[in-house]
């Protein structure tokens, strides 16, 4: 007990142990008795007890309250404590406040106190002097008298009693001035304040005068409320006034909406309810999630919020599915008024949703949508788990946070140096100021240090952590380091002191510290990220980041904080574009991805969350080009199967994945090319490659230029790449109705119905369905009617079906009919289009027949750059014959030409190249070779002397001169219709016979002749009967040499009298050949068992023959005659 040396004594009847323990607990509580740590109560006399305190200050505070009232079940016990105990006995322990009569008269002492006039007036009117006189006579050993004039005078012979009496008066009586702000300072709100305060005063003054209230007008429309009286009553009226101002102060709260659609039609929903706004503003918003911002006086905001929550909780929703998007289009246009009438008559809201690729379900109902409990500007979709700590990003006021710790920035150890500190001091008042000053006086703070202050009860926290900051001095300056250290210190203190929750503002971007917003966010999120990744969170289970909602950059700040936190927490290990996508998509998609297992080379489709698309495909490229190529194919196949129209693909693994951009570009473009060339794409029309970095774009461009045609690349705007490889133009052909059906499957029109009763919703759904059905019709087209549609017709029909929002269904019975249903106008347009197509099909069929008929009779040709005549296609052939050439013609290679029929010339539109044209008129039973000239109907043989300047002349001459040095005098083309007809027949026979073994084997060979035989050969061809005139070494047939030099020998080309020689250039059908012998009259059989299957010719040697011998006159045709010398 040596520690308890400061004794006090009191008198009481016999006390039980329980009563002594209760009295001790009273003296332990500073709030109740002024005491503190004390020992057990000891009985030192019959009715006298002693209690000893550890600290002198605790003893003195107990003495300041001589009367201590303690409640017991039997009644209240009043104790009078004293510092002394007389040895004569316990009757002397407790001293009376009156002096003993036998004591000598002592000197009287005075204390004079200047009191505010209002307080003097209250003391006078309330009779407080007489009350204190009576109280002091009983309470003190020496009487204390009071006299009130212009000042308060206290008299007593004891200085201790005098001091204690003065302390009692100053503690019991007080004056408080409260300044009204804003609307509360002027009528009509001021009248309401007066009414409330007068009522509270009257209640406090019953049955005696305890407090007085006065209203003092101030400058600039301000009003001051003065409260005078007993401190207890003054404090109660201050609380009433504070509560009123708190309730009337403007605030904002977010109420989450159950559906995004409600944001755009909130006003209509509000008109369906009984919610009264009453000075409260309701503003629907999509940010930070579908919600309504409730703004206004706090008390009214709470009321309206409660009413809205009740209305939303009773909201019913249902969905109506109508086949085809035409319903959506109808109710957006001419049916809009009818839809609005259904809404108003049935008291519902009708909203269109994106179409769904779902079966033909007419309606699908959901239950009542649960409405989450409204939270003060809390962004619950923006939450991140840091180890076991939940991290929430919120729009709101830091002062309103209900957490263990609020973190506050300050400059130069001044709590009012920042806006946040000012707000806290306005809320907590002098109580916070005194606590802060007390703690600040005990230490010196350096930048980055944290001052801990116990929070007053008016705040929703237990502690305040003030960070000593520095104004912005650059990214590498001391200000960033100081702020980072302070934030880390705050988190460490929370863990050390076993605190559960802490709230941070975004420190720095204000007018005092002047941090750039991005830098402030970076420091905050890095500090929290490092804490989450490396520190043990202990009991710290909640971290709040609070962003003021009324700042111009609040929304940007909100999203940047979430994005940066997502990066620093490295959720799921994503990098590059993945992070950006998941940041926008939100935590639900992140959680869905975390729960999925995506192995190497696999993909996973998730919901889009808040990302503006229909699905997100997560792929695992594993930094392997082969896997990336296959994944791209899988993605395109998925989109086509899911009937999606477009897809965006990033440069997979080219960023944080570390793969070379050229490797990635090659893999992705190969995947695109493979998928688009092997898969029939009926739905997917757009493939976008999203390339952010310029080096990646250039790599893709280089690969695309090599892989795709230049024509395709030139049509694509930077930085996109070709959607699909260009396909060759196909001639018009009929398209089956089955193919048409696969391209016209329409999405459904989905309508969302919102109402407050089941009957209203059902009635509205029925009426809307009937309205649409009344505007619809259906038409069935037979397979035969659709047979004439071309590919172009089908594309046009698909576009019309899509534009009009029609539904097309294929007959499942196998008959091939197609039914088009939807809005009447759209169905009628389809019927008209198909009729037009059928008429066009008939016209095309007539034109095709005309072209084909003309093609057999007339051949228009164009001279190619290689000197060979090329036949023009049927359409150009028809246009030239009918002189329909104003739009030019197109050759077989797709090149377009302008035509001058008078000159028989064509000029290339691109390049200004000129080419000759010619027209051949075929015989009824013979088609002229393209290099021939026209011949009269009765003309059998025509000899055309070639011009030395022609390419034809040069080609024949060059082949001759390769082995012959003699001079070419003349070259003539021989056009013998009978011989050529027979030759072509034989050529076809050999081609058919040898189609698996090289065909007819046509070759240009040489045959020397004489002037005597020349004319006969020109007219009747080569004749075996003349075999043996020169040699028969390899059989009794017609001999042809590979080289002109052999045939130029005088032995075979005997010179004429003028020295000239003659040689034929012949077309020879060598077919299948074998070694010849002198006795052969026909080629030998190829197989001894099949004597009729013979070789077509024989040669002088099998390997590299230089001589061919044929035994059939029609197997050779004299094409040219060369005269040389």
* pLDDT above 60 for 500: yes
* pLDDT above 60 for 383: no
Alpha helices in 359-496 (DSSP H): 419-428, 430-440, 478-496
Q: Give the mean model confidence (pLDDT) for residues 201-223.
A: 86
Lowest mean pLDDT among 1-5, 190-194, 834-838: 1-5
Concatenated DSSP letters for 756-785?
Answer: SSHHHHHHHHHHHHHHHHHTEEEEEE-HHH
Strand partners, 808: 820
Residue whose C-alpha is closest to residue 1007's, from 958, 960, 1064, 951: 1064
Confidence band, pLDDT 50/70/90 cuts, at residue 843: confident
* pLDDT above 60 for 724: no
* pLDDT above 80 for 980: yes
Measured in residues, the chain has a length of: 1125
pLDDT in the model for residue 1108: 95
Confidence band, pLDDT 50/70/90 cuts, at residue 611: confident
Residue whose C-alpha is closest to residue 848's, from 812, 822, 874, 815: 874
pLDDT in the model for residue 877: 92
Concatenated DSSP letters for 241-310?
Answer: HHHHHHHHSEEEEEEE-S-THHHHTHHHHHHHS----TT-EEEEE-SSSSEEEEEEEHHHHHHHHHHHHH
* pLDDT above 60 for 1041: yes
Q: Are 298 and 247 in contact (CB under 8 A)?
A: yes
Token pair, residue 449, equals: 């240090």
Token pair, residue 683, equals: 């739905």
* pLDDT above 50 for 741: no
Residue whose C-alpha is closest to residue 351's, from 256, 268, 255, 254: 268
Q: How far apart are CA 398 and CA 465, in angstroms?
A: 13
* pLDDT above 50 for 367: no
pLDDT in the model for residue 719: 36
Confidence band, pLDDT 50/70/90 cuts, at residue 361: very low
* pLDDT above 80 for 672: yes
Instruction: Give the number of other CB atoms < 10 A from CB of residue 501.
Output: 21
Place of tokens 């590299």: 1104
Residues in Cβ contact with 856 at an 8 Å cutoff, skipping those fewer than 6 apart? 922, 927
Tens-digit pLDDT profile for residues 1075-1113: 999 888 899 998 888 888 899 999 999 999 999 999 988
Token pair, residue 151, equals: 């000042």
pLDDT in the model for residue 538: 66
* pLDDT above 70 for 159: yes
Strand partners, 405: 463, 502
1099 burial via Cβ count (<10 Å: 0-12, 13-18, 19+): buried
Lowest mean pLDDT among 26-40, 41-55, 82-96, 426-440: 82-96
Confidence band, pLDDT 50/70/90 cuts, at residue 1117: very high
3-state secondary structure of 1063: strand
Q: How far apart are CA 508 and CA 565, in angstroms?
A: 17
Confidence band, pLDDT 50/70/90 cuts, at residue 991: very high
Token pair, residue 1121, equals: 């005659």
**CA dihedral of residues 633, 637, 639, 641 (deg, nearest 10):** -170
pLDDT in the model for residue 872: 92
* pLDDT above 50 for 93: no
Q: Give the mean model confidence (pLDDT) for residues 541-547.
A: 85
Q: Give the mean model confidence (pLDDT) for residues 1016-1038.
A: 80
pLDDT > 70: what percent of the chain? 86
Q: How far apart are CA 344 and CA 346, in angstroms?
A: 6
User: Where is mean pLDDT largest: 22-26, 540-544, 809-813?
Assistant: 22-26
The helix-helix angle for 128-139 and 117-126 (nearest 10°) equals: 80
Q: How far apart are CA 52 and CA 4, in angstroms?
A: 5
Helix, strand, coil percentages, rounded to 5, for the chain: 40, 25, 35
pTM, full prediction = 0.38
Q: How far apart are CA 559 and CA 327, in angstroms?
A: 37
* pLDDT above 80 for 385: no
Instruction: Give the number of other CB atoms < 10 A from CB of residue 45.
Output: 15
More confident residue, 711 or 887: 887
pLDDT in the model for residue 1014: 92
Q: Are 451 and 440 in contact (CB under 8 A)?
A: yes
Token pair, residue 869, equals: 């005549």
* pLDDT above 80 for 185: no
Q: How far apart are CA 598 and CA 309, in angstroms?
A: 41
Confidence band, pLDDT 50/70/90 cuts, at residue 862: very high
Confidence band, pLDDT 50/70/90 cuts, at residue 811: confident
Instruction: Give the number of other CB atoms < 10 A from CB of residue 1119.
Output: 21
* pLDDT above 50 for 996: yes
- Whether a cis peptide bond, with omega within 30° of 0, leads into 719 is yes
Q: Give the mean model confidence (pLDDT) for residues 375-393.
A: 50
More confident residue, 33 or 576: 33
- 605 Rama sector, left if φ>0, alpha if ψ -120 to 50, beta otherwise: beta
Q: How far apart are CA 557 and CA 516, in angstroms?
A: 11
Confidence band, pLDDT 50/70/90 cuts, at residue 6: confident
CA angle (880 as vertex; 876, 883 as ends), nearest 5: 135
Q: How far apart are CA 976 and CA 1085, in angstroms?
A: 32
Confidence band, pLDDT 50/70/90 cuts, at residue 163: confident
* pLDDT above 70 for 49: yes
* pLDDT above 80 for 596: no
Lowest mean pLDDT among 286-295, 896-905, 1050-1059: 286-295
For residue 913, what is the DSSP state?
A: -
Token pair, residue 875, equals: 């359409």
Based on its alpha-carbon atoms, the radius of gyration of the chain, rounded to whole angstroms, reads: 54
Q: Are 1038 and 1082 in contact (CB under 8 A)?
A: no
* pLDDT above 60 for 856: yes
Q: How far apart are CA 938 and CA 1008, in angstroms?
A: 30
948 burial via Cβ count (<10 Å: 0-12, 13-18, 19+): exposed
For residue 96, what is the DSSP state?
A: P
pLDDT in the model for residue 88: 36
pLDDT in the model for residue 100: 38
Q: How far apart are CA 587 and CA 624, in angstroms?
A: 29
Q: How far apart are CA 768 and CA 563, in angstroms?
A: 43
Q: Are 148 and 124 in contact (CB under 8 A)?
A: yes
* pLDDT above 60 for 445: yes
Residues in Cβ contact with 191 at an 8 Å cutoff, skipping those fewer than 6 apart? none
Q: How far apart are CA 545 and CA 389, in angstroms?
A: 13
pLDDT in the model for residue 297: 81
Confidence band, pLDDT 50/70/90 cuts, at residue 1008: very high
Largest CA distance in the chain: 190
Token pair, residue 659, equals: 């793969």
More confident residue, 1005 or 496: 1005
Token pair, residue 172, equals: 């019991």
Mean per-residue pLDDT of the chain = 81
User: Where is mean pLDDT largest: 219-223, 229-233, 511-515, 584-588?
Assistant: 229-233
Q: Are 918 and 860 in contact (CB under 8 A)?
A: yes
Residues in Cβ contact with 843 at an 8 Å cutoff, skipping those fewer than 6 apart? none
pLDDT in the model for residue 665: 87
Q: How far apart are CA 779 and CA 828, in angstroms?
A: 9
Using the Cα atoms of residue 984, residue 989, residue 992 and residue 996 in order, give the sign of their dihedral.
negative
Q: Are 300 and 737 in contact (CB under 8 A)?
A: no
3-class DSSP string for 377-389: CEEEEEEEEECCE
Instruction: Give the number of other CB atoms < 10 A from CB of residue 30.
Output: 13
Lowest mean pLDDT among 691-705, 773-787, 980-994: 691-705
Q: How far apart are CA 518 and CA 564, in angstroms?
A: 10
3-state secondary structure of 178: strand
Tens-digit pLDDT profile for residues 304-336: 888 888 888 888 888 888 876 678 878 888 888
pLDDT in the model for residue 987: 93
Token pair, residue 385, equals: 């788990």
Residue whose C-alpha is closest to residue 1069's, from 1056, 1057, 1083, 1055: 1083
Residue whose C-alpha is closest to residue 62's, from 78, 40, 80: 80
Helices (H) and strands (E) in the chain, counts: 34, 49
* pLDDT above 90 for 124: no
The terminus-to-terminus CA distance of the chain in angstroms comes to 151
Alpha helices in 514-624 (DSSP H): 517-534, 554-569, 577-585, 587-595
- 1021 Rama sector, left if φ>0, alpha if ψ -120 to 50, beta otherwise: left
pLDDT in the model for residue 736: 41
Lowest mean pLDDT among 197-211, 535-549, 869-883: 535-549
More confident residue, 697 or 1006: 1006
Q: How far apart are CA 353 and CA 751, in angstroms?
A: 6
pLDDT in the model for residue 354: 59
């Amino acid at each position: 007990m040596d520690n308890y040396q400061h004794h006090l004594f009191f008198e009481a009847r016999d006390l039980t142990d329980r009563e002594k323990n209760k009295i001790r607990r009273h003296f332990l509580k500073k709030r109740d008795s002024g005491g503190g740590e004390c020992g057990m109560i000891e009985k030192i006399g019959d009715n006298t007890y002693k209690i000893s305190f550890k600290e002198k200050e605790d003893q003195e505070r107990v003495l300041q309250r001589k009367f201590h009232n303690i409640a017991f079940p039997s009644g209240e016990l009043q104790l009078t404590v004293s510092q002394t105990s007389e040895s004569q006995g316990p009757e002397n322990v407790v001293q009376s406040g009156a002096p003993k009569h036998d004591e000598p008269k002592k000197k009287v002492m005075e204390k004079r106190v200047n009191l505010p006039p209002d307080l003097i007036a209250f003391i006078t009117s309330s009779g407080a002097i007489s009350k204190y006189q009576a109280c002091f006579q009983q309470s003190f050993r020496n009487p204390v008298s009071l006299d009130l004039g212009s000042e308060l005078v206290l008299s007593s012979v004891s200085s201790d009693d005098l001091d204690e009496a003065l302390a009692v008066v100053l503690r019991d009586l007080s004056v408080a001035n409260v300044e009204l702000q804003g609307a509360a300072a002027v009528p009509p709100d001021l009248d309401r304040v007066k009414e409330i305060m007068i009522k509270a005063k009257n209640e406090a003054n019953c049955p005696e005068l305890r407090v007085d209230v006065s209203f003092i007008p101030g400058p600039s429309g301000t009003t001051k409320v003065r409260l005078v009286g007993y401190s207890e009553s003054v404090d109660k009226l201050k609380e009433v006034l504070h509560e009123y101002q708190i309730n009337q102060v403007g605030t904002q709260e977010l109420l989450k909406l159950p559906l995004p659609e409600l944001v755009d039609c909130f006003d209509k929903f509000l008109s369906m309810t009984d919610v009264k706004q009453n000075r409260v503003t309701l503003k629907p918003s999509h940010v930070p999630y579908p919600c309504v911002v409730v703004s206004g006086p706090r008390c009214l905001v709470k009321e309206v919020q409660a009413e809205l929550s009740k209305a939303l909780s009773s909201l019913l929703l249902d969905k109506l599915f109508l086949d085809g998007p035409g319903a959506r289009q109808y109710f957006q246009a001419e049916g809009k008024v009818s839809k609005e009438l259904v809404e108003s008559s049935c008291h519902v809201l009708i909203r269109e949703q994106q179409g769904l690729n779902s079966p033909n379900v007419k309606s699908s109902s959901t239950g009542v949508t649960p409405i989450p409990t409204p939270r003060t500007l809390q962004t619950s979709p923006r939450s991140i788990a840091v180890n076991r700590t939940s991290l929430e990003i919120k729009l709101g006021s830091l002062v309103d946070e209900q957490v263990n710790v609020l973190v506050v920035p300050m400059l130069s150890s001044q709590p009012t140096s920042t806006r946040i500190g000012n707000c806290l001091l306005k809320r907590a008042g002098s109580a916070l100021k005194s606590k802060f000053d007390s703690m600040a006086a005990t230490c010196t703070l350096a930048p980055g240090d944290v001052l801990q202050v116990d929070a007053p009860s008016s705040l929703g926290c237990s502690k305040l952590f003030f960070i000593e900051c520095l104004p912005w001095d650059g990214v590498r300056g001391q200000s960033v380091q100081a702020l980072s250290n302070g934030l880390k210190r705050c988190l460490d203190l929370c863990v050390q002191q076993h605190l559960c929750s802490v709230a941070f503002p975004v420190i720095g971007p204000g007018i005092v510290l002047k941090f750039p917003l991005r830098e402030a966010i970076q420091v905050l999120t890095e500090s929290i990220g490092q804490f989450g990744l490396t520190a043990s969170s202990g009991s710290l289970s909640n971290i709040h980041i609070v962003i003021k909602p009324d700042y111009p950059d609040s929304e940007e700040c909100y999203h940047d904080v979430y994005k940066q936190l997502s990066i620093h927490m490295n959720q799921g290990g994503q990098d590059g574009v993945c992070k950006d996508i998941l940041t926008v998509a939100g935590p639900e998609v992140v959680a869905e991805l975390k729960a999925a297992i995506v192995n190497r080379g696999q993909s996973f489709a998730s919901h889009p969350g808040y990302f503006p698309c229909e699905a997100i495909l997560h792929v695992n490229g594993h930094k392997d080009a082969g896997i990336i190529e296959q994944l791209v194919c899988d993605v395109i196949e998925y989109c086509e199967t899911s009937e999606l129209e477009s897809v965006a693909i990033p440069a997979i693994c080219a960023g944080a994945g570390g793969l070379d951009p050229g490797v990635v570009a090659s893999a992705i473009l190969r995947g695109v090319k493979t998928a688009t060339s092997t898969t029939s794409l009926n739905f997917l029309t757009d493939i976008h490659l999203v390339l952010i970095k310029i080096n990646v774009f250039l790599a893709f461009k280089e690969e695309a230029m090599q892989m795709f045609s230049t024509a395709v690349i030139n049509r694509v705007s930077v930085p996109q790449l070709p959607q699909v490889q260009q396909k060759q133009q196909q001639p018009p052909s009929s398209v089956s109705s089955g193919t048409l059906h696969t391209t016209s499957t329409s999405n459904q029109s989905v309508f969302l119905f919102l109402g407050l009763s089941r009957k209203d919703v059902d009635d509205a759904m029925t009426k809307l369905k009937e309205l649409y059905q009344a505007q619809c019709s259906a038409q069935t087209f037979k397979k035969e009617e659709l047979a004439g549609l071309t590919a172009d017709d089908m594309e046009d029909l698909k576009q019309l079906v899509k534009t009009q929002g029609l539904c097309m269904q294929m007959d499942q019975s196998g008959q091939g009919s197609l039914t088009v249903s939807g809005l009447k106008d759209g169905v009628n347009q389809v019927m008209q289009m198909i009729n037009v197509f059928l008429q066009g099909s008939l016209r095309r069929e007539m034109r095709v027949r005309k072209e084909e008929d003309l093609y057999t009779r007339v051949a228009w040709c164009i001279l190619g750059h290689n000197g060979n005549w090329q036949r023009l296609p049927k359409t150009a052939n028809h246009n030239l014959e009918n002189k329909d050439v104003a739009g030019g013609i197109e050759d077989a290679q797709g090149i377009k030409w302008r035509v001058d029929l008078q000159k028989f010339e064509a000029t290339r539109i691109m390049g200004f190249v000129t080419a000759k044209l010619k027209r051949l008129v075929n015989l009824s039973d013979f088609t002229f070779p393209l290099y021939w000239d026209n011949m009269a109907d009765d003309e059998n043989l025509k000899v055309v002397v070639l011009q030395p300047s022609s390419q034809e002349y040069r080609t024949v001459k060059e082949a001759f001169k390769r082995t012959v040095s003699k001079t070419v005098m003349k070259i003539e083309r021989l056009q013998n219709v009978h011989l050529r007809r027979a030759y072509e027949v034989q050529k076809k026979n050999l081609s058919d016979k040898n189609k698996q073994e090289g065909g007819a084997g046509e070759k240009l060979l040489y045959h020397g002749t004489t002037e005597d035989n020349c004319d006969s050969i020109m007219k009747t061809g080569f004749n075996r009967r003349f075999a043996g005139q020169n040699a028969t070494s390899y059989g009794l047939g017609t001999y042809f040499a590979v080289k002109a030099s052999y045939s130029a020998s005088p032995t075979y080309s005997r010179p004429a009298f003028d020295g000239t020689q003659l040689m034929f250039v012949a077309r020879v059908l060598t077919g299948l050949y074998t070694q010849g012998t002198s006795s052969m009259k026909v080629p030998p059989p190829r197989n001894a068992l099949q004597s009729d299957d013979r070789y077509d010719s024989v040669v002088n040697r099998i390997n590299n023959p230089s001589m061919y011998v044929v035994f059939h006159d029609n197997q050779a045709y004299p094409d040219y005659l060369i005269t040389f010398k």
